Chain A
């Protein structure tokens, strides 16, 4: 409440700025961006804090994504390994078989003087004569384009062969060196294989073996293209990604659904509780099913009906009491009138009595006046309780109202040797109020201040802004103890029960004043500190019926506030003086 008041004051303070189209500096732009980002972050944070569903879905998403990613990674690794291992084994076996073939071809050179040219039997002879050609031919036929073979011989010239369109640069230098270095186990390497006439290499498994012969060392390199495997694996990977994404989304949807099923009844319950708190006692929840949420609704409904019953009973009781007070007051008036008339007679003829009797008549007269005013107050307050109080609104200058009230209080102040310090604005301060009631409030406040002011100065301040006017009455008396700021408005409340009422207060003045303020849609609030005195502030809207958003005057006197800030203390949160009067919630 306090921040709201201050913010309203702050908003009112600078007044409307003239709208001027000015060029914004980069710093301003940056600040604007930052502000906007901050605002967005704030919205997000608010949304995050407020929405259980969002939190659950997000955490589900995060967790399931992590799990899916980790599992997918390992699964892919396993599939990769399985596919490539199988390929590797079969390739190695094939390569070894081929190497044996090559070795047998090369070590068993054919007889040199075989008749060449056309063979005697039909079709032209396509079988080559040289050993390496025959070996390469056999390998090419066996490979049938599934893989490619390169045969190299570093010792003998013109013995290099390749099958199909494999390019010789596919044999990496590292692999070649390794093959020539280590004779026995074939060496394998994953390497790109190049083909003549094709610009892009293909991932392949290269296996190189050495075939030592008397004609030199033949190196046999096999290239098993892994294009298909790579395609398969990438397809599997794609599928894995798709399935994983679908899974994550599914889980998010499931989480969202499940949370929704829980959150919606809870939200409904909250709303019902809020409405119940706002006084709608007939609010009930609909019961569906027999689960925990249904039981919650049942309990809620039971609670609500019990509450309603109790409140109703209390209301009844209160009503009866008020009626009783009202009736008693009414009933007392008639005999009181008679008593009054008799007392008046006695009072007028007190000169004729002996002094003791005359003193009694005077006392009776005074107490009768007090009794009468108390009865009037009781009747007034019972009118409020019955809701019969009405406003007689008129546009008046608040300065006149204050001056009238101060004028009424002047005799008492003089009696108490108290100086009234008036701080009124120069220009008229018009407001639509019931001047009689406002005067009564101010009178009450002033009487109160004089009574508890211990003769020190009383400051009456009138403040106004566009929407509201406020009158603050500051005294420098004993002040209020913490917690008493609200109790002062209670009926028949007394700060110190031992103290006697010196000015004949009925104990209902502040209560009536508050009712009056509320009738105007205004606030009546109190502040006080022991030893610092107290301040009562009446804030009223300028237009009757409009809602009061803030007060032109601070509740805490400025000098106290300054001192407190200077001491570095935070302002204690001021408890609401009027329940529900202007609370925005």
Chain B
């Protein structure tokens, strides 16, 4: 009766089904208490709830529809809110199947050992006999083969022992510090990795396995990601890139693994050449990372307390910020980074890193559009076709000595170094009143090379396959730098990279021309160290010139069997980056980072520029000019 009396009182929303439940034909039996129908006493109060509830519950349902018009909004998907996480695939380790063949056991073992879920490879160990479990360690070596298809010997029925070999070309190895070294072994060498299997309890188990992990190329691509770590260049505000392969550990996360790698310090080729703000040489700081996560628009990196020590000095703090922001850049993009200490705010004030502030730490050093120079008639010319290649203002050199092998420093005003025929590297400033001075004296010097610190480097070929590396900061003193890998070979070119940490060398130790890449140890006694072949010697191969394009790319001008070509190589990855460009007639090259085109000089004194649109060389200066150069490199 309560509901019946309620029906006329509240106006139901349009289209609401609420009123239809009430009233209706039974409305006439409305109770008449106190006289009027409108004063139904408590009955009226009691009927309120049902109607009101229905109105409130069903009313909005009738009104809430999807809008058919309205303003236009950006349709950003929900997936991109966590830049630290990227999709990846991983292998799921499976324990050995019962009654599996030796080949399946080896395949299963290889697959299980390629799973990075468990660093100790608990599942892979199930494929091993008890003895082998003790001796085998996944940390011994990581070797990458082009394929890991096991080949087993046919089995006899009663045999208790089986051999399975995995054949394949070694593509490279990964050092313990994550540095990938591409193998220079020729495709013909296919070392066999032999597995010995015995029956344990009626099941085949591996009793002898090659040391470490054998990864197929697929495994390698699946389980590792290449990242550049950035370390501080010794003594200046700048960074040096160092490439590592970070294994994807699903329980740790890529970003955390990456930061942890950064904390571990530089890989072996760069040790001594760079500094890490997280790991000072005196070993006074011990930092670990707790977590890396995204909070709103900020990427939070949570360190242990050591980071407070590491960032105590302002310079260290800047270096640390630069390292972190540059290293995390592929994951964080332009987001700000906040450094926290054990989950709490950095002591003092919040520690925010804005990546924009650290742009100038770029390991490429040169920014914008660096100008190129060439020598003509002993005077330095700006390479600028529109203004007619003018002489650099202020250059009033009058000596008409014939200099070759120009190098330009990154100072302001620039310094120019060049080689003269009488065995010397001569340097002068571009500003007026700076005559040529001989900085390095030696026999058969290579083209000089400036580094970012203002040193000029050159190699003197003192005899057949004898070389000495010199550097000089001014005319007063030339210093010989030990370079064990070079002293017993003939060095044809020596170029210090713009980051000041790496060097690239063309040398010949009797097997033919090769390109070596090493680093300059500036912290623990001067040395050119860790020289490693980027391009191994090959028969009939002659390397004409090298030039640094950016911090990790080296252009190599080679004479192969038929023609001359220009190839960019990645120094950090040890691989060729692009297809070669034809480069007939070209004698020297120079390159700079960014969108700046490659320059080349010919024997006839022409200056050429690579036009990427036409995929060909275009002449800039017709003749009688020296080789064009960009600053540094």
Contact = CB atoms under 8 A, between A and B. Distances in A.
A231 to B, nearest CB: 13
A168 B88 CA distance: 15
A259 B42 contact: yes
Given A118-B576, A126-B221, A251 B48 contact: yes
A197 B253 contact: yes
B46 A247 contact: no
Interface string B68-85: 000000000011001001
Contacts of A126: 221
A142 to B, nearest CB: 8
Interface string A65-95: 0011001100100000000000000000000
Instruction: Categorize the interface residue count of chain A.
Output: 35 or more
Interface residues of B, number: 59
Contact of B92 (A71, A137, A162, A255): A162
B49 interface: yes
A342 B79 CA distance: 134
Contacts of A258: 44-45, 48
B251 A122 contact: no
Most buried by B among A75, A157, A247: A157
B56 A161 contact: no
A60 interface: yes
B141 interface: no
A497 B79 CA distance: 111
Nearest to A65: B49
A60 B48 contact: yes
Given A129-B217, A157-B100, A158-B108, A145 B87 contact: yes
Contacts, number: 164
Contacts of B35: 292, 295
B48 A255 contact: yes
B316 interface: no
B620 interface: no
A52 B87 contact: no
A195 B251 CA distance: 8
Nearest to A70: B53
A321 interface: no
Contact of A251 (B34, B52, B82, B253): B52
B89 A161 contact: yes
A263 to B, nearest CB: 9
A160 interface: yes
A281 interface: no
A123 B46 CA distance: 76
A174 B627 CA distance: 74
B252 A143 contact: no
Interface in B540-581: 573, 575-579
A330 interface: no
B45 A255 contact: yes
B175 interface: no
Nearest to B57: A71
B222 interface: yes
A196 B117 contact: yes
Contacts of B222: 128, 133, 137
Contacts of A262: 39, 41-42
B251 A196 contact: yes
Interface of B: 2, 34-36, 39, 41-42, 44-46, 48-50, 52-54, 56-57, 78-79, 82, 85-94, 97, 100, 104, 107-108, 110-112, 117, 146-147, 169, 171, 217-218, 221-222, 226, 250-253, 573, 575-579
A248 to B, nearest CB: 8
B407 to A, nearest CB: 29
B381 to A, nearest CB: 34
Nearest to B104: A157
A243 B112 CA distance: 54
A121 B578 contact: yes
A144 to B, nearest CB: 5
A390 to B, nearest CB: 52
Contacts of B252: 197
Given A161-B92, A258-B44, A117 B146 contact: yes
Contacts of A55: 42
Contacts of B100: 157
A152 interface: yes
A418 interface: no
Most buried by A among B57, B97, B575: B57
A499 interface: no
Contacts of B112: 158
Contacts of A250: 52
A75 B61 CA distance: 10
Contacts of A254: 45, 48, 52
A72 B56 CA distance: 11
A157 to B, nearest CB: 4
Contacts of A301: none
B42 A292 contact: no
Nearest to B218: A128
Interface in A105-125: 116-118, 120-125
Contacts of A64: 48-50, 52-53
Given A124-B226, A163-B87, A164-B88, A158 B49 contact: no
A141 to B, nearest CB: 6
A161 B45 contact: no
Interface in A136-153: 136-137, 139-141, 143-146, 150, 152
A291 interface: yes
A254 B251 CA distance: 57
Contact of B79 (A121, A145, A157, A248): A145
17 contacts: A55-B42, A56-B42, A60-B45, A64-B50, A67-B53, A121-B579, A124-B573, A129-B217, A140-B88, A157-B104, A160-B111, A164-B85, A164-B250, A165-B251, A247-B52, A248-B49, A292-B35
A63 B50 contact: yes
A337 interface: no
A128 to B, nearest CB: 4
A101 to B, nearest CB: 14
Contacts of A60: 45-46, 48-49
Contacts of A120: 579
B562 to A, nearest CB: 18
Interchain residue pairs A-B with the least CB separation, the first 9: A158-B111, A197-B251, A64-B49, A165-B250, A196-B250, A160-B92, A140-B87, A255-B45, A136-B89
A373 interface: no
B218 to A, nearest CB: 4
B39 A291 contact: yes
A259 B45 contact: yes
B575 A118 contact: yes
Contacts of B78: 146
A116 B147 contact: yes
A130 interface: yes
A200 to B, nearest CB: 14
B221 A128 contact: yes
Nearest to A59: B46
Contacts of B146: 116-117
B42 A197 contact: no
Contacts of B57: 71-72, 75
Contacts of A295: 35
B108 A157 contact: yes
A138 B36 CA distance: 76
Contact of B107 (A56, A68, A152, A157): A157
Contact of A117 (B53, B217, B578): B217
Given A133-B222, A146-B79, A295-B35, 20 more contacts: A55-B42, A56-B45, A60-B45, A123-B577, A124-B226, A125-B221, A133-B89, A137-B89, A141-B87, A145-B82, A152-B92, A160-B91, A162-B90, A164-B250, A165-B90, A168-B92, A196-B117, A255-B46, A255-B48, A262-B41
Nearest to B80: A144
Contacts of B41: 262
A168 B250 CA distance: 12
A129 B576 CA distance: 20
Given A55-B42, A67-B49, A120-B579, A129 B218 contact: yes
Nearest to A166: B250
